[in-house]
Amino acid sequence: MASIVKRGKNYHVRVSWRDKSGVLKQKSKGGFKTKNEARQYAVELEQQLFTGVNIKQKKIPFSEYFANWYEVYKQPTSKHSTQQRYEVAIRQINEYFQDIAIQDITRHDYQVFLNQYGTNRSKNTVRIMHSMIKACVSSAMYDEIIRKNFTENIQLVFDPARTRKIDYLSLDELKRLTDLCLNGRQKRYTSRYMILTAIMTGSRPSDGF
């Protein structure tokens, strides 16, 4: 339940509720110039309470939450190359978001970040960054730290000049290339063996950060 009172020239909001144990809780905030601003703030708090978000919870800088999430959930089982990608992501998040709380980031804020990040990076690099942040934000929702996933329904922005276009061989072309490599094998030349290995394993270079 919310109450709004005027103190001097500003309005003050107090929201009261009972937790699962029946204990009375309150959160208040003042300094609103108009009653409408105070009412909107009260409505937002009550909506958060309705959806189960703990509005008394201390706000956490996104950079801090991401780093801690990585150390607890990802680092112990990640390969060295994957750990390096996360370390780059941590630096990028620290540089861009700085002390902004994860609870205060909107979908618009995140899209602006991706727009800037993708200016001079390939599509795959941007995709990897987005996938890591999205997994982190999903974890924050599961822990009820935030109530909306600000990484949903965004656009990946990237530099087309840095994005490789991969042309795949048809089955007939692949068979002819395989026959050519098999018929021309020589122990002192390794290139044909490397091509055969790539054909059999489907391996290809991957983009980095």
Percentage of the chain lying above the pLDDT 70 cut: 79
DSSP state of 163: S
**Comparison of pLDDT for 8 and 132, the residue scoring more:** 132
Among 51-55, 124-128, 171-175, the least confident range: 51-55
pLDDT of residue 73: 94
Which DSSP string corresponds to 94-136?
HHHHTT-BGGG--HHHHHHHHHHHGGGS-HHHHHHHHHHHHHH
| Confidence band, pLDDT 50/70/90 cuts, at residue 202 | low
Which token pair is 10? 């500003």
pLDDT of residue 206: 46
Is the Cα dihedral 145, 146, 147, 152 positive or negative? negative
CA 15 centroid distance within chain:
31
pLDDT in tens, 94-138: 999 999 999 999 999 999 999 999 999 999 999 999 999 999 999
Query: Taking the model in full, what pTM does it have?
Result: 0.57
| Confidence band, pLDDT 50/70/90 cuts, at residue 199 | low
Mean model confidence pLDDT for the chain: 83
Residue range 47-69: average pLDDT?
77
Max mean pLDDT range (19-33, 50-64, 126-140):
126-140
